[in-house]
Amino acid sequence: MQTKKPKAPLAGLIYGEIVYWGVLVGSLIVIIGSVLAFMGDNFVPVSYWMTSVWKGETVAQAWQGATGALPNGHWYLSCLTTGDGLTAFGISLGVFSVAPALFLAGFALFKEKEWLYGSLAVFGGIIVMIGVLGLAPMPK
């Protein structure tokens, strides 16, 4: 009976650490953003968002009332000093951590001559980046 714990592969550790810390940093930014949001410094007032969402307004209606049009892009990047902008950025950062994690884990696999799985990791990262960059066709 084997009683020694198997060692985790380097690519797995790299992937896990990047995502873990990316999410933790993102979460910290979300907390700071939420505090700022409830202090009243916002791109769109919190009371407007919460009321609008719980009224059941559609996404288009909510944004129409807030800014006049759907954002269609990374709206928060232009208002990072506001509470809701920073909160959205924190969530996005946490989600985004998957992309560099996949690429770097892929490169670690390449170094170990695991060409197939390295390629799969990089290809997965490319698909994630298609989503991040909004390259998928969207309704106008």
Partner 1 sequence: MLIVGGYIVMGVFSEVQSTQTLSATSIWLIIVGSFLISTAIATLAVIGGIGGGVIFTPIMLGFTSLDSLVIRATGLVVAMFSGLISTGPFMKSKLADIKLVFYCGVPITFGALVGSVSAIYLHESLGEIGDGAVRLSLGILMLVVAWFLFTGGGKTEYPEPERIDSLSVKLGLNGSYWEESLGKVVHYQLTRSFAGAIIFIALGFIGGFFGLGGGAFLTATLNLVMMAPVKIAAACSGVLLAISNATAIWTYITYGALIAVFAAPWMLGQVVGGILGAHLLIRIQAGFVRKILIGILVISSIKLIVRGIEEAFGINIPIL
Q: Give residues 19-38 in contact with partner 1 (rule: CB under 8 A).
A: 19-24, 27, 30-31, 33-34, 37
Q: How far is the CB of 35 from partner 1 (least distance, A)?
A: 10
Q: How far is the CB of 131 from partner 1 (least distance, A)?
A: 4
CA distance 115 to 121: 10
CA distance 87 to 71: 16
The site that binds partner 1 (CB under 8 A) totals a number of residues, namely 82
> What is the identity of the amino acid at 24?
L
Q: How far is the CB of 78 from partner 1 (least distance, A)?
A: 14
Please, which of residues 53-112 interact with partner 1 by CB under 8 A?
Answer: 53-59, 62-63, 70-76, 83-85, 87-88, 90-92, 94-99, 102, 105-106, 109
> What is the identity of the amino acid at 49?
W
Phi, psi of 6, rounded to the nearest 5 degrees: -65, 145
- Interface with partner 1, residue 136, by CB under 8 A: yes
CA distance 73 to 79: 13
CA atoms within 13 A on the CB side of 60: 2
Options 78, 104, 139, 140; binder of partner 1; rule CB under 8 A: 139
Cα–Cα distances (Å) from 70 to 9, 51, 52, 59, 87, in that order, read 44, 18, 15, 8, 18
Residue indicated by tokens 């940093």: 25
Options 6, 68, 81, 113; binder of partner 1; rule CB under 8 A: 6
Options 39, 51, 80, 111; binder of partner 1; rule CB under 8 A: 51
- Interface with partner 1, residue 117, by CB under 8 A: yes
- Interface with partner 1, residue 1, by CB under 8 A: yes
